[in-house]
Chains A and B, each alone.
Chain A
Amino acid sequence: MLNELKKPFQYKKIDLDHIEAKKPGAYSFQKPKTDNFWGTVKRVGGYLAESKGLLTYVILMIVLSSAMALLGPFLVGVSIDNYIVNNELGTFGYMLLALAVVYLLHSLSVWQQHMWMIRIAQDTVFKMRTKLFRHLHKLPIPFFDKRQHGDLMSRVTNDMENVSNTLNSSVIQVVSSILTLVGTIAVMLWLSPLMTVITMLIVPAMVFGMKWITKRTSKLFKAQQRNLGELNGYIQETMSGQRIVKTFSQEEKVIAEFMEKNEQLRGTAFWAQTFSGFIPKLMNTLNNLSFAVIAFVGGILALNGMVSIGVIVIFAEYARQFTRPLNDLANQFNLLLSAVAGAERVFNIIDEEEEANDEEDAGELNGVAGAVRFNHVSFSYEGNDDTINDLSFRAAPGETVAFVGPTGAGKTTLINLLSRFYEATDGKITIDGKDITTVKRENLRRHMGFVLQDSFLFEGTIRENIRYGRLDATDEEVEEAARLANARSFIEKMPDAFDTKLSVDGGGISQGQRQLLAIARAILADPSILILDEATSSIDTVTELKIQEALQRLMEGRTSFVIAHRLNTIQNADQIIVLDQGEIVEKGSHEDLLEEEGFYHGLYHSQLKDEMQTTS
């Protein structure tokens, strides 16, 4: 198995200029608004700054530990000179005590700064993650229809992980590096300005090298995180479509496609890692070179009597001290790049336009009677032809309105418009005379109960799934709702009855049973407006009769919108609206429409045709 994985040792040369231009997939993302490095850093900094108090404490601890780190060797030097070289042991005990205190403080301050920095960093990550998640819920439905779920998941975990890793260490490293740097330069200048200038010669080389590397890594890290997201998306999709993969025996095809994405990730990740690996090497080399230059130049100067040997030795040591923090900073900068690549992907979502905000003055609906009116409503999916075209109708409070028509006539779209999952491109929808765009979305939906085509269940018990309809419902109410939906009998046959756990893929529970649970959920919600989107399509007709009964009861006094294919289930509707290609072709009661001998008449008869054949 490993053999096939053995790939020849070759990586395609990465075309840096086009890494970013490449489309991330069929559904390209909206151009990110925060495509600037420092902007992103600042935003993350903004989150960090929320823990100002702790942050100040951490910085104080860093200052303390840096001071102790300098004081320790100094005391050791003094000890050697005073007590070992001169061998006067009189006060040596006090000196050792002082050293012990310094060392203890050093360790303590190091411990404290890490301890609290971890807290700050993780709090920050937590805040960002929460913000991201909250924002996801504010996004309009079309957003989710376009994105791969796995890619979004990758942002919440993998990208945030990058930010987290960096925050854990960066602040400490950066602050202590700067402190050491300033301190060292000061001492060096004091010792010999000329040698200092020579030592500083490596700084431009460093800056140049860093620029060369980061120009590459910043792009590569972004590409890497994007590729990781795509891979995540692909895994997620093939996992949730396993049934199809298996029944169609398409494992090989899926694996081949996966390999392609995997290969892309390896390509970018390889170069990202290689280039970022250059940084410490470059620093080390410059470090070594400056050491050599100091020795070399210093040697010549010393020969001319311009500096002493001692100064050269000290400078060589300081050159090391000077480049170490620079080295750390460079490494941190690199980590920062990968964190920024992650943070940017997170911010891209946070900046994604929310479900057009509820208008400032958006009101609330109270005690809804349920008079619904569509007034010249049109709607089209992005750029396509109108799916709904200049459509008008009214539903009086308590009425049941059924939508009938061939697939793709726009029935589900009407429901999406009424609940404002999608916004009408033209026209107006009112409830009790109030334009629904002037009502807060959440408030609007709170008055509606849904049984949707795709009856989604959450991982959890049956009880929890029904209670989703109304979170404060008692156990009795939940069970009563299940009874009304005729779900109780099957639930009680399950191993743990209402406490039976359901898995996400719903193994062991049939599609029809899922619909029953969805109905129970809607019953529990007790809405003023009820929306049933092919709610009973997968339920056997005997059970459906019982549900119809329950639904009849439920629909009493509520305005209900029903989409159904079996016409006999909607014969009692007050109004049947026949749709075709986004327009109303006919409207009226079952009897009216039959008399009209139009479209509905035809549909109805095609349903009866077979039955007529068998009975004749």
Chain B
Amino acid sequence: MRTLFPFLKPYKLAIYVALTLTLVELAVELLHPYFMSRIIDDGIVAGDLSQVMYWGGIMVASSLVAFAAGITNSFFAAHTSQGTGFDLRSKLFRKIQGFSFSNFSKYPTSSLITRMTNDVTQLQNTLFMSLRIMLRAPLLVIGSVVMAFLVNPTLALILVVGVPLLLAFLLLIMKRAGRLFKEVQQRVDNVNGVVQENLAGIRLIKAFTRRKHENKRFIKASGELKDRTVRALRTVEITMPIILLIMNLSIMAVLWFGSFQVNTGGATVGEVVAIVNYTTRMSGAMTVFSMIIMIFSRAKASASRVADVLNEEVDLKDREDADPNKRIHDGKIAFDRVSFAYPGTETPVLDDLSFQVNPGEKVAIMGATGSGKSSLFQLIPRLYDPDKGTVFIDGTDISNVTMERLRKQIGFVPQEAMLFTGSIKNNILWGKEDASMEEIEQAAKSAQIHDTIAKLPNGYETELGQKGVNLSGGQKQRLSIARALVRKPKILLLDDSTSALDMKTEAKLLDALDTYQCTTLLITQKMSTTINADKVLLVEDGRITAEGTHDELLEHSSLYQRIYESQIGEGRADHA
């Protein structure tokens, strides 16, 4: 919980105000019986109407004061809890945006989502409640004990025995419930996870008619959530009957000892009645404790889950001395003996790999599935850092440049064209926020998607669904290329991003790329692409096994020859 306390700081004033206002309410409530007794004693018994008017008026006025205090309290309490929730979510989101992919691998997306919404909501509710009623219950208990002592210290001792016992019991339950509620939140993660997977894979599930199988998975996750919730809640609910029982037994004890005391003259009847009354009031206040305990144990569980994320060490950071202004002038890229394995795995995907790409060159990277091509790409914008070796751009180690600066100058087109909900225009603007309409259209034209967009009823304003579902695979790829081109990058990385394009479109696109002054790396499976490249790198098992122009490789590399044969050999034979 400690991590979260600083979040309350900005609301210190609001918290004080809210707490003070609850005290005002409490005071009014405690004073009313006194006012009442004045009406009876000074007014009715003395037969004085003006006294009745006087104290009655005070009662009404004080009620209104309490009302004003209550309303204002509500305002401040809501401000504190919602403000803190807002800050927590913002901080969490910001933190997560800074996560590296190895950080991400520790928390499933669904769990991060639960933490940012569900857990924060729990904390918010706790705060709101704390500021409004929680103070009241303990104060009532303390007040009652004090009053009881003032009335009759001997009889009040009975309460002093009962209360610590109860408190110890409550603490025990709270600890246990805290643990149980943590399990509940984990189960919420699981439910969220199944739902998320089902939504993302809905086509596949329908295609394979696996509805029943998925239902089973969900029912398992949801059933576990139910069981844990029941267990946690039942643990908490056991407090109320026990508190009631202990307090009621105290009443019996007060009666029993009271009767002796009255007998021996140690107490008056009125005193016994008063202490019984205070005990009753206390047990009323204490039943609220079971709710307090529930809320607090939930909050404890949620707080630690939120704190976990906030305390997560981001392992991919800018170096202290990283240059935030470094410009890529030429776009020369060099890998020097780079090795890399994905976090948490042992098998290196890149193994002592070196190569160099000159400014403005167009280099094709080819290799078998899983040979490490995409991994190699991810090191350039520093999505991951290599385990060994260095990546240089323009002769500078890329870890000398801030990530933001570095990435801003690179145009990256991933294999899977990931688009966002929003208009086509907004999706292209991702590449460059302040791009003018001309720039956007220019990029779209180069990416061979402008004509398609222009034909849409709303043109560039057409709204896309999640992941751009209302576009075809090829359209998505081209849009994702336009997004990279709009920033006129110095380095362009195309990760097999033209796979869903037909030959004609692809050729036009590659031609258009020539007008951009940038170093281009493209992963491809197509011979037609490599033929146009200045250089071809052949990757096998995380190493570069051959390097050179198309013609050179065709002569020297047997693997390249085989690929060539597989794609063109047949066609040429037919055609020749």
Contact = CB atoms under 8 A, between A and B. Distances in A.
Given A242-B104, A274-B78, A285-B70, A114 B408 contact: no
A299 B44 contact: yes
A540 B117 contact: no
A168 B197 contact: no
B418 interface: yes
Contacts of B117: 154, 158, 228, 231-232, 235
Given A5-B91, A79-B255, A450 B208 contact: yes
A603 to B, nearest CB: 7
Given A103-B252, A244-B418, A292 B59 contact: yes
Given A453-B500, A458-B197, A565-B502, A247 B82 contact: no
Contact of B528 (A110, A136, A610): A610
Interface stretch (A29-37, A39-47, A190-198, A309-317): A309-317
A10 to B, nearest CB: 10
A565 B499 contact: yes
A252 to B, nearest CB: 8
A136 B56 contact: no
Contact of B207 (A111, A450, A545): A450
Interface stretch (B4-12, B140-148, B391-399, B436-444): B4-12
A236 interface: yes
Given A156-B192, A157-B191, A149 B466 contact: yes
A212 interface: no
Given A255-B93, A282-B67, A539-B369, A158 B10 contact: no
A307 B429 CA distance: 80
Given A236-B109, A407-B500, A456 B201 contact: yes
Contact of B383 (A246, A259, A274, A604): A246
B349 interface: yes
A527 B191 CA distance: 32
Nearest to B429: A253
B43 A299 contact: yes
Given A2-B10, A118-B237, A242-B104, A381 B466 contact: no
Contacts of B410: 247
Interface stretch (B162-170, B239-247, B355-363): B239-247
A126 B67 CA distance: 40
A21 interface: no
- Chain A interface size, as a band, is 35 or more
A277 B210 contact: no
B499 A448 contact: no
- Chain B interface size, as a band, is 35 or more
B85 A266 contact: yes
A321 to B, nearest CB: 12
Given A129-B222, A251-B97, A118 B233 contact: yes
B135 interface: no
Nearest to A381: B470
Nearest to A242: B104
Contacts of A494: 347
A115 B416 CA distance: 50
Contacts of B225: 126
A76 interface: yes
A510 interface: yes
B321 interface: no
A186 interface: no
B77 interface: yes
Given A2-B87, A407-B505, A610-B532, A122 B229 contact: yes
Nearest to B215: A134
A333 interface: no
B575 A309 contact: no
Interface string A508-541: 1111110110000100010000000010011111
B108 A452 contact: no
B205 interface: yes
A51 interface: no
Interface in B56-75: 56, 59-60, 62-64, 66-67, 70-71, 73-75
B406 to A, nearest CB: 8
A309 B40 contact: yes
The prevalent SS among residues of B at the interface is: helix
Interface in A485-504: 490, 493-495, 503-504
Interface stretch (B31-39, B173-181, B326-334, B513-521): B31-39
Contact of A87 (B124, B262, B423): B262
Nearest to B97: A251
B531 interface: yes
B199 A149 contact: yes
B567 A541 contact: yes
A271 B222 CA distance: 32
A471 B574 CA distance: 43
Contacts of A427: none
B471 to A, nearest CB: 8
Contact of A615 (B77, B211, B572): B572
A594 to B, nearest CB: 8
B149 interface: no
Given A6-B10, A511-B415, A568 B200 contact: no
A7 B79 CA distance: 11
Nearest to B567: A541
A144 B10 CA distance: 41
A11 B83 CA distance: 11
A239 interface: yes
Given A161-B118, A303-B49, A119 B230 contact: yes
Interface in A16-30: 25-27
Question: Most chain-A Cβ atoms within 10 A of its Cβ — which of B35, B192, B505?
Answer: B192
Contact of B47 (A79, A295, A303, A441): A303
Contact of B408 (A96, A156, A249, A539): A249
Contacts of A568: 567-568, 570-571
Contacts of B28: 288
24 contacts: A5-B10, A130-B222, A133-B218, A161-B118, A168-B233, A228-B121, A240-B200, A243-B414, A247-B407, A248-B407, A266-B86, A278-B71, A281-B73, A281-B74, A284-B70, A288-B59, A299-B44, A312-B40, A405-B502, A454-B203, A468-B204, A490-B370, A542-B562, A610-B531
Name the 8 nearest CB pairs between A and B, nearest first. Answer: A407-B474, A512-B369, A281-B70, A277-B74, A292-B59, A296-B56, A299-B52, A288-B63
